[in-house]
Amino acid sequence: MGIERFTIEVRPPFRLDLTVWALRRRPHNTIDAWDGTTYTRTLVSGGAALQVAVRQEQGRGARLVVEVRRRGRRPPEAAVEETRRVVERMLGVGVDLSGFYELAAADDRLAALALRFRGMRPPRFPSVFEALVNAVACQQLSLDVGIHLLDRLTAAYGPRVALGDAGAGFPAAERLAAAAPEDLRRLGFSSAKAATLVELSQRVATGALELESLTEIDDSEATAALVALPGIGRWSAQYVLLRGLGRLEVLPGDDVGVRNSLRRRFDLPSSAGYDEVAAMAERWRPYGGLVYFHLLLDGLARSGRLGEDLVTPGLRVEGGRRREPGAAAAGADGRASSRAGVDGRASRRAGADGRASRRAGADGRASREVV
């Protein structure tokens, strides 16, 4: 096995574990693997599949050690440099959080969340295409089911490294462009989603759709371009802006889980819709997306998926208030923990995607990522 190593110095605070959880979202995500200390993923560089492993050095502040592995010869220098750029993008290495922490300090409820998950950087998918496919897969479904669908898609069409422990990488547009919609149906996708994924992949593969060029236009123009695509509504567009383009001012207001978390943590009225969420997000501009990621981690912690050892010791956040260890936990915590076992049931429900997609409404009204 050929291995190249390099280090990345990150301005503290930085937490690889929390950043990876914001990226992978669910324990059964097989694309973004995390064993408690090392983040592992298969990426493609220069046409070759490579296994990338990232860990944070203990006792050395915010230094990341990255290994790029492939079978046989060592990866070429150009592939290693491209991998460095992708890893830095995915893990938010260049994002300055100082402005967000200053904003949070003036809001007690947000300050509690910011402290609890201090060091989490806003992650991004390696490509805008991957963000778009993730959005389509998770429309009108629970995140549990959406991740199962993405796992299946990757296992069927993703590139592989000829190493024993390496999982498949995310499929390239060219691979999905050659798929038949009925093949995606057999993986659990609805007819509409299968057709959308194949058509979008064909446009990207032929160059008719240049998703990376969206980085050059503003939010409103990028949103307009995205919602003009087949199968893409406002929720999916905002999801891509945040997770694919790194637009940290974007808080997806149609996300059901976001609304529930904002009701629980920030007293958003139960009757509130998109406009009310957008108005609330204005007070956090330009960091609405960072609030979104903190709510995601908070939901993972409440559901029992994120271990207590990963959050700031001695601090719980409940209803926007700080609690010390030993204080009575909110009743919802127990119920949320009992739901941590739904992954198996969610796997069996992945075939229900067709029924979910036939529900009335745009993609946002039934979509959620934050718990």
Residue 218 and residue 134 share a domain: yes
* Tokens encoding 299: 């939901």
- pLDDT for residue 12 is more than 80: yes
Could you tell me the CATH number of the domain that includes residue 8?
Answer: 3.30.310.20
Could you give the number of structural domains in the chain?
A: 2
What pLDDT, on a 0 to 100 scale, did the predictor assign at position 318?
44
Confidence of residue 345 (pLDDT cuts 50, 70, 90): very low
- pLDDT for residue 309 is more than 80: no
Residue 148 and residue 84 share a domain: no
Task: Report the chain's mean pLDDT, rounded to a whole number.
Answer: 87
Residue 289 and residue 205 share a domain: yes
State how far the alpha carbon of 311 is from the alpha carbons of 17, 263, 306, 336, in Å: 10, 22, 8, 17
* Tokens encoding 156: 């069927």
Greatest mean pLDDT among 46-55, 163-172, 306-315 lies in 46-55
Could you tell me the CATH number of the domain that includes residue 209?
Answer: 1.10.340.30
**Which one-letter amino acid corresponds to residue 326?**
G
Please calculate the CA angle 119-122-126 and round it to the nearest 5 degrees.
Answer: 130
- pLDDT for residue 194 is more than 90: yes
Mean pLDDT score, 344-371: 49
- pLDDT for residue 330 is more than 90: no
Residue 322 and residue 222 share a domain: yes
Residue 140 and residue 58 share a domain: no
State how far the alpha carbon of 279 is from the alpha carbons of 113, 237, 254, 267, 370, in Å: 20, 18, 13, 13, 19
Sequence-distant (≥ 6) Cβ neighbours of residue 152 within 8 angstroms: 187, 188, 350
Question: What is the number of helices (H) and of strands (E) in the chain?
Answer: 17, 7
What pLDDT, on a 0 to 100 scale, did the predictor assign at position 315?
44
Residue 144 and residue 81 share a domain: no
Confidence of residue 198 (pLDDT cuts 50, 70, 90): very high
10 Å Cβ neighbour count for 264?
A: 18
Q: Is residue 114 part of a domain?
A: no
Residue 303 and residue 185 share a domain: yes
- pLDDT for residue 313 is more than 80: no
Provide the percentage of residues in the chain whose pLDDT is more than 90: 77
Residue 82 and residue 179 share a domain: no
Domain boundary among 38, 71, 95: 95
Q: Is residue 116 part of a domain?
A: no
Q: Which of 90, 78, 74, 85 is nearest to 40 (CA)?
A: 90
Question: What is the C-alpha separation between 15 and 63, in angstroms, rounded?
Answer: 10
* Tokens encoding 140: 């009108």
- pLDDT for residue 183 is more than 70: yes
φ and ψ at 326, to 5 degrees?
A: 95, -20
Q: Which of 25-34, 67-76, 87-96 has the lowest mean pLDDT?
A: 67-76
Q: Which of 5-19, 205-219, 353-367 has the lowest mean pLDDT?
A: 353-367
Confidence of residue 320 (pLDDT cuts 50, 70, 90): very low
Confidence of residue 371 (pLDDT cuts 50, 70, 90): low
Domain that holds residue 80: 2-95
Residue 327 and residue 197 share a domain: yes
Residue 317 and residue 225 share a domain: yes
Q: Is residue 310 part of a domain?
A: yes
Higher pLDDT, 142 or 333: 142
pLDDT digits (tens, 9 = 90+) for 242-253: 999 999 999 999
What pLDDT, on a 0 to 100 scale, did the predictor assign at position 334?
32
Residue 135 and residue 89 share a domain: no
Q: Is residue 63 part of a domain?
A: yes
Q: Is residue 272 part of a domain?
A: yes
What pLDDT, on a 0 to 100 scale, did the predictor assign at position 310?
73
Question: What is the C-alpha separation between 259 and 261, in angstroms, rounded?
Answer: 5
Residue 175 and residue 221 share a domain: yes
Confidence of residue 308 (pLDDT cuts 50, 70, 90): low
- pLDDT for residue 368 is more than 60: yes
Higher pLDDT, 341 or 367: 367
Give me the DSSP letters along 191-203: HHHHHHHHHHHHH
- pLDDT for residue 89 is more than 90: yes
Q: Which of 87, 20, 7 is nearest to 310 (CA)?
A: 20
Instruction: Kindly report the pTM of this predicted structure.
Output: 0.86
Q: What does R_g of the chain's alpha carbons equal in angstroms?
A: 20
With b meaning 16 or more CB within 10 Å and e meaning fewer, what string describes 15-37? bbbbbbbbbbbbeebbbbbbeee
φ and ψ at 173, to 5 degrees?
A: -60, -35
Coil, helix or strand at residue 49: strand
